[in-house]
Amino acid sequence: MKTQKITLLSKALLLMVAALFAGSLFVPMWRIELEAPQYPEGLVLQLFANKIGGDVDIINGLNHYIGMSTLHTENFPEFKVLPVVFGLFALVSLLLIFINKRKGVKIFLFTYIGFILLAAADFYRWNYEYGHNLDPNAAIKVPGMAYQPPLLGYKQLLNFGAYSIPDTGGWLMTGAAVLLLFIVVKEYNLLKKKQ
Amino acid sequence: MKNKFVKAIFTIAMGSALLISCKPKNSGDAVSGDAAQKAYVAPGKYDEFYNFVSGGFSGQLSVYGLPSGRLFRVIPVFSVDPEKGYGYNEETKPMLNTSHGFVPWDDLHHTEMSQTNGEVDGRWVFGNANNTPRIARIDLKTFTTKEIIELPNSAGNHSSPFITENTEYVVAGTRFSVPADNSNGDVPINTYKKNFKGHLSFVKVGKEGQMDIAFQIQCPGVNFDLSHAGKGKSHGWFFFSCYNTEQANTLLEVNASQKDKDFIMAVNWKKAEEYIKAGKGKLTPTKYAHNVYNESTHTATSEIKTQVLILDSKELKDICYMIPCPKSPHGCDVDPTGEYIVGSGKLAALIPVFSFDKLQNAIKNKQFEGEYDGIPVVKYEAALHGEVQKPGLGPLHTEFDGKGNAYTTFFVSSEVVKWDIKSLKVLDRVPTYYSVGHLCIPGGDSKKPFGKYLIAYNKITKDRYLPTGPELAQSAQIFDISGDKMQLILDFPTIGEPHYAQAAPADLIRNNGQLKFYKLDDNKHPFVTKGEKETKVVRNGKRVDVYMTCIRSHFSPDNIEGIKMGDEVYFHITNLEQDWDVPHGFAIKGASTAELLIMPGETSTLKWSPDRVGMFPFYCTDFCSALHQEMQGYLRVSPAGSNVPLTYSLGTNLPAPDQK
């Protein structure tokens, strides 16, 4: 019977995971970069855990041509929930050190993956909502055109090229996922040949 | 017979060919093979330097790129500019106020960039108004005029606006000596020698640029022409060229060209400061305007000041010294080391170069040849480093490349001549097209010239460009001076008549905190409207204030009714954009002044008095978006005494259904 406890290394890594979660509260998670001929310097929309940042006013101004609703932090309940979730994640990562059960880490990893999938679905829903729910009185109407940004990657939206990519916080959270995965793999000896 | 005819034709042809080949080379031949490459800046690439060129009689300042010669901008300074509303909108009208009232034009001759430790620092450019004596400060964060100060006791502000090596002072020497403001000016003109005085103004420049006349030095009645500050070892001194030391008051072309030598006046301004501390200055009544544009209220204010501190050069003997200089000196230029002062007698056939060390020795050892109107005159030879012999005809101005070479323009012989400052040997000469006045090397009058290009500013351009009627294009020419020989690489036309110019590396200005837009939150204009919800129209007797906003692509409000004949309407328009390069314009039918051009985050005011009853459309004049043409509105004017209520709206007052 193998021990269910986790190693010192894994505990140290859990500490780092906690730090990554805590850190991602303060930096932008995601960014949508917009490029157009008349914006050679580019425009950027940054999604923090608690707010929208970047060139929101300019983008709102431009979106009115196509009848897209304007973006306002207060319209998204997510910005109230996400900081709590991230805080909880950081706390749980710390607690796992004391709980000291490899199963705990595994459950947390799956919960986290579930959260990411949920977040992606939510993000997609908002993108769809904004891209399709257009003012019928908009100045510019292109038949069949929607302005939904991509979930991840690049998409051309009229004269704008839109890149949807993780920002600093997104990379921190990716790091957290990688570390959690590493701990689970290590603790369950998944890479070792079966005896 | 036939053969003879062919021979004759051949002979004539050969003869003509010989004759043609004997004709001097024309200007087209002066351009050598790789010139186009050297002046070419590919589309989308930046120029290496900004060139700030005076607009002469246009009263404006123009900004060109080097080496492309492309015009980037015309900055209104002393002349109104309906394009930008400068001098027309309520905010900038005070900028052109003087003791004579509103003077909406002038003659801008020279530009000078601010310096730190004797090097151009890219903060400001100063310009002089020659006609109604003024000095302007142009801020390079916004490329707009921020401050104008009038100069009392002066007329024809020509030797200006030259600066000291840390921008401690900007100076101004009067071209026309005139009776001082506080004396009786109603005197016979032929009492010039007795009643006319020349004043030099020392304008102090603050950390944020604020100008203030620290003191003036009262000098004999002569014509002060040009100037330059000492630097390095000669920091603390200023040098002014003077002509008409004959003190003639009529037919100066003859009567002021009598003497073999006029003067360069050396001024010890540190000494002047000491005298002021010692209380030797006299506060004298006068009147002059000081106009300042406030960045946060977007509004200029004009203040009339009533006294100026004056030092008398006759009384305080060790401030000013005269150095004899042949003949009718024009340019007065100091080399990067501060040791050599180049005088250019515009009627002389040589260039005298003076030594600062020798001048100091001569003063110490009292090597004087007498006094001129109370000012000691140093012996010519005692201050002279040497003379450049047979350099050309009509030397005017000299700039330096920082490698020990001087470049002097020759108006009469239309050329630029390169010579060695120490040995005084002529090294190279190139023709200019034609009649060159000033020249500019980027940083060429500072301690650190960038020495790569030389730009000549010409007075005449016959045969250089397509003709444009009786008056031809004004022009400049760029020479590559990086090698031993000067090479012409580009001609380009300029606005007005270019006089002096300054240039600095593009990066120095681009990276010096250039402004992209005005922050709406920081807008402290008394009539600012920070959002469409705050827009309103307020009547106060016959005065109507319209608090209007503009954003892509509409004005708010866009329908105004209830204005009556006899009203004075003030449109205070705030551009709500917070995005780079999205100005909006505002124009209303029949406006007799100008349009507005409003930068993002800025508030600007147009005063308008309706002249008839009816409908007055207004619209945006600066293309702003795909819906720019839709950016418009209506203002209804009713007869005086009518009972149309004052209303304003945006998007609500669609016609009643039965009218559809």
Give the residue numbers in B contacting A (CB under 8 Å), as ranges.
Answer: 551-552, 577-580, 625-627, 630
Say if the Cβ atoms of B552 and A61 lie within 8 Å: yes
Average pLDDT over residues B94-100: 98
Say if the Cβ atoms of A58 and B579 lie within 8 Å: yes
Of the candidates B519, B529, B594, which has an alpha carbon nearest to the alpha carbon of residue B557? Answer: B529
Average pLDDT over residues B540-567: 97
Q: Which of B551, B580, B630 sits opposite A61 (nearest CB)?
A: B551
Strand pairing class (B395-400; B320-326): unpaired
- Please determine, for residue B463, whether its predicted confidence score (pLDDT) is greater than 80: yes
Mean pLDDT by 10 residues, chain A (195 residues): 78 94 94 92 94 93 90 93 94 92 92 95 94 90 89 91 95 94 88 61
Q: B369 φ, ψ to 5°?
A: -110, 15
The predicted pLDDT at position B19 comes to: 46
Q: What is the DSSP string of A132-163?
A: H---TT-S---TT---PPPSSEEEEETTEEEE
Chain B residues close to A55, C-beta within 8 Å = 579
Say if the Cβ atoms of B627 and A61 lie within 8 Å: no
- Tokens for B485, please give them: 């020989």
Residue partners of B375: CB distance under 8 A and separation at least 6: B219, B220, B265, B313, B314, B317, B320, B321, B322
- Confirm if B496 and B54 have CB atoms less than 8 A apart: yes
Residues of chain B with pLDDT > 90: what percent?
90
Say if the Cβ atoms of A65 and B626 lie within 8 Å: yes
Q: Is A139 on the interface with B (CB under 8 A)?
A: yes
How would you classify residue B404: left for phi > 0, otherwise alpha for psi between -120 and 50, otherwise beta? left
Provide the 3-class DSSP secondary structure of residue B132.
coil
The predicted pLDDT at position A3 comes to: 66
Say if the Cβ atoms of B625 and A65 lie within 8 Å: yes
pLDDT-derived band at B342 (thresholds 50, 70, 90) equals very high
The predicted pLDDT at position B205 comes to: 98
The residue of B549, B576, B582, B625 whose CB has the most chain A CBs within 10 angstroms, and thus the best one to mutate to test that interface, is: B625
Average pLDDT over residues B134-163: 97
Task: Tell me the torsion sign for CA atoms B173, B179, B181, B182.
Answer: positive
Q: B12 φ, ψ to 5°?
A: -60, -45
pLDDT-derived band at B10 (thresholds 50, 70, 90) equals low
The predicted pLDDT at position B20 comes to: 46
pLDDT-derived band at B653 (thresholds 50, 70, 90) equals confident
The predicted pLDDT at position B655 comes to: 82
Chain A residues close to B580, C-beta within 8 Å = 41
The residue of A34, A41, A64 whose CB has the most chain B CBs within 10 angstroms, and thus the best one to mutate to test that interface, is: A64
B626: nearest CA partner in chain A: A65
Chain A residues close to B579, C-beta within 8 Å = 55, 57-58, 61
Distance between B625 CA and the closest CA of chain A, angstroms: 9
Say if the Cβ atoms of A65 and B627 lie within 8 Å: yes
Residue partners of A195: CB distance under 8 A and separation at least 6: none
Distance between A32 CA and the closest CA of chain B, angstroms: 18
Chain B residues close to A65, C-beta within 8 Å = 625-627
Say if the Cβ atoms of A140 and B626 lie within 8 Å: yes
Whether the link from the prior residue into B498 is cis, omega within 30° of 0, is no
The predicted pLDDT at position A158 comes to: 87
Which helix H or strand E contains A127, and what residues bound it?
helix A102-132
Average pLDDT over residues B211-240: 97
Distance between B579 CA and the closest CA of chain A, angstroms: 7
Measure the CA–CA gap between B498 and B108, rounded to whole angstroms. Answer: 9
The residue of A56, A58, A59 whose CB has the most chain B CBs within 10 angstroms, and thus the best one to mutate to test that interface, is: A58
Say if the Cβ atoms of B625 and A58 lie within 8 Å: no
Measure the CA–CA gap between B24 and B19, rounded to whole angstroms. Answer: 10
Average pLDDT over residues B194-217: 97
Q: How far is CA A188 from the centre of its chain?
A: 28
Chain A residues close to B625, C-beta within 8 Å = 65
Residues pairing with B322 in the sheet? B265, B377
The predicted pLDDT at position B22 comes to: 46
Chain A residues close to B552, C-beta within 8 Å = 61, 64
Distance between A142 CA and the closest CA of chain B, angstroms: 15
- Please determine, for residue B141, whether its predicted confidence score (pLDDT) is greater than 70: yes
Measure the CA–CA gap between A70 and A59, rounded to whole angstroms. Answer: 8
The model's pLDDT over B271-299, given as tens digits with 9 standing for 90+, comes to 999 999 999 999 999 999 999 999 999 99
Chain B residues close to A60, C-beta within 8 Å = none
The complex's ipTM works out to 0.82
How would you classify residue B465: left for phi > 0, otherwise alpha for psi between -120 and 50, otherwise beta? beta
Compute the residue count for chain A. 195
- Please determine, for residue B589, whether its predicted confidence score (pLDDT) is greater than 80: yes
